Amino acid sequence: MPAVLRFVSFCSVLAKYFHNHHLPRAHLIKQQQTETPQPPAQKLSTPTRWTGTVCLLTSVLKNQGSITTVLFKAKQRVIDMDFPPSLFDLVMENDDWDNVAQWEPALYTFSAIINYLQADTTPLSGVYACFLSLEAYLVPSNFPLSIRDEIRGFIKLRYATIFSPAHVLSFYPDPVFVPFREMSRASTVKPCTMTDAAVCMKAAKRLVRTASEEEKVTVVMQVTQLFMGSFPFLRTGAVEESSRVSLRHVWWSLHAEGAPPELRAVAAQMFSLAPTSAAGERSFNQRSRVHSKTQNRLSDDHANKTQAIIFSKRQTRRFYGSVLLQARTTCAEAHMVGMLRRSCPDGSGGGDGNTIAGGSQVDGVGGASGDGVLEQEVGEGEEEEALADEDVETVAGAQEAVARLIEKAEAESKYT
């Protein structure tokens, strides 16, 4: 966002000249007999992350009077300090200060969203919900029209680059984000312009794009029936129940009595996966990966962090504008397709829709950790190995618990 970069660069210039030392507070105290003293200044640090940018803006705003006084004294040679004349002109003008004051609350929200997406307990469904909450925060009383339009343009670009259908199929059945679905329908920047059924059907088609035609029809039909058929159940008391249990997969295991067993199994698997395993929200920096098992955030050891929220270079190469150039099936997508196919009735049509049937092989569905698409067959055991490679150690305990529940449900269904 150009406006953000402009005023961040203004604050960064101030941080550069006041870095590694305090403003000359002693001189201000010395002038108490002749003029009103200014408050002591805080140390300004060079920003390396969005949270650091918010702190930088806050520090600059709190020390506006001190910065202005010091630069004015330095220009009069009362204080020995070298700075370019253009910096003095910028500080004395009100435009830059007004921009900093207007964007500070917006960047607080940005920081909260990024911190939420970086959390290892954040489910796949949180990606869409974060940006819907950001748009809902843009009320006219808080932000002028120019800022609202610029942030909405940013949100629209982010929707275009959230390419994984795993995010869609996890967002719609999430009981916590039921109100967010209603919010998305009234949204100015809609993440999806179609109906709920059409959105889920489109995502399911993308998930099984490498499968056979017969399998595509079966899986898409089952996805539509399972996910959309459960919506009345999700609307009745879902939010109240979810407030008691913070983990989504635990909620589906304990409080989803009205849902079909196969839907419970699929949902429990999806909500036990962190965003890392879907490879959907990668780095907020071009040269590093945020989501990892070591929780490698935008750390201070990399001095040249870009102030942008974009995909890594490997993912950026796959896009031209908002058009996906090279399709990819991630390991989590292959795992979800396997779960969906195992919940489908067999090809003979003998399934009743209430049992977990189907084979254990996930044929023809590739799982890739890179940019390419693997065409070899992926077995159930290989799915688990692929998921292990996708940095899901932080939710290993939750996955084991869910796997035991699903294994128990499958065992019971075989004898019913």
Q: Would you state the pLDDT for residue 48? A: 37
pLDDT in tens, 379-390: 444 434 433 433
Give the confidence band of 159 by pLDDT, cuts at 50, 70, 90.
confident
82/154 same-domain check: no
| The predicted structure's pLDDT at residue 282 | 38
If you average pLDDT over residues 185-202, what whole number do you get?
A: 72
Residue at 410 is within a domain = yes
The H or E element that residue 403 is part of is: helix 396-414
Residues 101, 194 within the same domain:
no
Contacts of 265 (CB under 8 A, 6+ apart): 339, 343, 356, 406, 409, 410
User: For residues 42 and 399, which has the higher predicted lDDT (pLDDT)?
Assistant: 399
Last residue of a domain, one of 37, 72, 105: 105
Query: How far apart, in whole angstroms, are the C-alpha atoms of residue 227 and residue 230?
Result: 6
Identify whether 254 is part of a domain: yes
**243 in any annotated domain:** yes
For 86-119, how does the pLDDT look when each residue is reduced to its tens digit (9 = 90+)?
Answer: 777 777 777 777 777 777 777 777 767 766 666 6
What is the gyration radius of the CA atoms in the chain, in angstroms?
26
pLDDT at residue 410 greater than cutoff 60: yes
- The model carries a pTM of 0.47
Instruction: Name the maximum alpha-carbon separation found in the chain.
Output: 95
Q: What pLDDT sits at residue 188?
A: 73
Identify whether the C-beta of residue 255 lies closer than 8 Å to the C-beta of residue 230: no
If asked whether residues 189 and 40 sit together in one domain, one would say no
- Parallel, antiparallel, or unpaired: how do β-strands 319-320 and 323-324 relate? antiparallel
- Does residue 142 contact residue 105 with C-beta atoms inside 8 Å? yes
113 located within any domain: no
Query: Based on the structure, what is the number of domains in the chain?
Result: 2
pLDDT in tens, 363-373: 333 233 332 22
Specify which of 80-84, 228-232, 280-284, 380-384 reaches the highest per-range mean pLDDT: 80-84
In a shared domain, residues 233 and 269: yes
Q: Which domain holds residue 317?
A: 121-414
Q: Does residue 114 sit within a domain?
A: no
Say which residue, 329 or 176, is predicted with more confidence: 176
17-31, 117-131, 192-206 — which is least confidently predicted? Answer: 17-31
Indicate the pLDDT class of residue 153, thresholds 50, 70 and 90. Answer: confident
**pLDDT band (50, 70, 90) for residue 393:** very low
The pLDDT-based confidence of 250 (bands split at 50, 70, 90) is: low
Query: Which has the higher per-residue pLDDT, 43 or 131?
Result: 131
Q: Are 25 and 40 in contact (CB under 8 A)?
A: yes
Does the pLDDT of residue 209 top 50, yes or no?
Answer: yes
Residues 142 and 267 placed together within one structural domain of the fold: yes
262 and 235 part of one domain: yes
45, 80, 105 - which closes a domain: 105
214-218, 318-322, 400-404: range with highest mean pLDDT = 214-218
| pLDDT at res. 37 | 47
pLDDT at 296 exceeding the cut of 50: no
Q: How far apart are the first and last CA of the chain?
A: 58
Mean pLDDT of the chain: 58
Sequence length of the chain is 416
Residue 299 clears pLDDT 50, i.e. is over it: no
